[in-house]
Amino acid sequence: MKPRLLLSAILIGLGIVIAFVPENTTKPYKLTASQLLEEVQYGTEMVTPDELADWLINQDPSIQLIDIRTPNEFEQFHLDNAMNIPLSQLLDEEWIDVLDQGVMMNIFYSNGTTLSHEAWMITRQLGYENNYVLQGGLNYWTETILNPSAPVLTSPDDEIAKYAFRKGASQFFGGGGMTQAATSAKSKSSKPKIKRRKKKKAPDGGC
């Protein structure tokens, strides 16, 4: 999705979220609507498919995938080891300990990005900090990781390395990429540099 279209979808979702989150009568929210919008604009909540693939291949125990689609969609297809918390049930009391904690790195995903962004905005406005969004959702995951497109021969070295990593990742996850041993996804020589991120704060001020 193009950046402007994505931001427009996020802004629409922000309005929905503000109406959707129940009134908090015990303590103030950690973020105002303006602060939430600022955080969205800097994209600190996004996890790229390459980052997620790297963490899953290396079996990072702190990653928790949360599929926020309907149970029917979840049953038809979902990422391995994901748990299903439909968006309509996100505020149910049984999920508070999953969503409001500082140990696991929760990554919301849906078919695209809009619904998972709504889930993130709801939890973020409630003050929950360790939740993120899979960039592009399952559609972009399929396009980039399961079925990566080969770059042209004149592409920069980092693009070649990224494609080599994605080919190996495709085999690892059982996608339709070109044949290559799954272990190549772990090879330092063919993998783009991906670092485990700590949550960043949007810089103060600016436009």
88-92 LR contacts (CB < 8 Å, sep 24+): 90/119, 90/122, 90/123, 91/21, 91/22, 91/122
Lowest mean pLDDT among 18-22, 69-73, 124-128, 164-168: 18-22
From residue 156, give the alpha-carbon distance in Å to each of 2, 15, 46, 151. Answer: 22, 41, 24, 9
Length of the chain: 207
Tell whether the model's pLDDT for residue 203 goes beyond 80.
no
Is the overall model pTM greater than 0.85, yes or no?
Answer: no
Identify the residue with better confidence: 175 or 149: 149
Q: What is the mean pLDDT of residues 36-65?
A: 91
Q: Which neighbouring-strand residues pair with 83?
A: 66
Q: Please, what is the average pLDDT of the chain?
A: 79
Tell whether the model's pLDDT for residue 112 goes beyond 80.
yes
- Compute the distance between CA of residue 196 and CA of residue 150 in angstroms, rounded to an integer: 26
Lowest mean pLDDT among 6-20, 21-35, 37-51, 69-83: 6-20
Q: Percentage of the chain surpassing pLDDT 70?
A: 70
Predicted local confidence at residue 201, as pLDDT: 46
Predicted local confidence at residue 70, as pLDDT: 97
Q: Burial level of 185, CB count in 10 A (0-12/13-18/19+)?
A: buried
Identify the residue with better confidence: 13 or 104: 104
Domains of the chain: 3-22+30-141 (3.40.250.10), 155-186 (no CATH)
Q: What are phi and psi of 103, to 5 degrees?
A: -100, -55
Predicted local confidence at residue 39, as pLDDT: 79
Predicted local confidence at residue 176, as pLDDT: 63
Tell whether the model's pLDDT for residue 185 goes beyond 60.
no
